C-alpha cells in the first residue's frame, strides 16, 4: 500500500507543477518557476520509485488519468476554465478506465 501512496504523491506533485505553469508566466516569474520545477522533479523521483514495484500499466494509467482529471477540475475551480457536460463525462470515463486497470491488473 505504501507504493500506491508514493504514486499518489507523484500524481499530486505533477498536478501542482502543472497548476503552477500559468503563474510562472512563461518561466519569467522566479518563485512559481522554481516551485514547479521542484514539483516536477520530485514527482518524477517518486514515479521512479514506484516503477520498481508496480506494473507500468497501473502506474501510467493512474498518473495520466488522475492527473488529467485533477488538472481539469482544479483549472475550473482556480482559473475559472469552463467544463461542459461532455468534458465532465469524459473525465468520469477516465476515472472508470483507471479503476478498471487497477482492479484487473495482472498480479
State which residues form the domain around 49: 2-103
Read off the pLDDT of residues 49-102 as tens digits, 9 standing for 90 and up: 999 999 898 899 889 999 999 999 999 999 999 999 999 999 999 989 888 888
For every residue of 27-43, which 3-state class applies, written as one string? CCCHHHHHHHHHHHHHH
Segment 11-38 shows an average pLDDT of 97
* Count of structural domains within the chain: 1
pLDDT at 103: 85
Contacts 24+ apart (CB under 8 A), 34-42: 39/13, 39/14, 40/13, 40/14, 42/13
CA distance 86 to 78: 20
pLDDT at 6: 96
Amino acid at each position: 500500500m505504501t507504493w500506491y501512496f508514493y504514486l499518489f504523491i507523484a500524481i499530486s506533485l505533477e498536478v501542482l507543477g502543472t497548476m503552477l505553469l500559468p503563474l510562472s508566466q512563461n518561466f519569467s516569474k522566479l518563485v512559481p518557476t522554481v516551485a514547479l520545477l521542484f514539483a516536477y522533479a520530485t514527482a518524477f523521483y517518486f514515479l521512479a520509485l514506484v516503477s520498481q514495484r508496480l506494473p507500468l500499466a497501473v502506474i501510467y494509467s493512474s498518473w495520466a488519468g488522475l492527473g488529467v482529471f485533477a488538472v481539469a477540475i482544479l483549472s475550473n475551480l482556480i482559473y475559472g476554465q469552463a467544463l461542459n457536460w461532455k468534458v465532465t463525462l469524459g473525465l468520469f470515463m477516465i476515472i472508470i478506465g483507471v479503476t478498471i486497470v487497477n482492479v484487473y491488473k495482472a498480479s
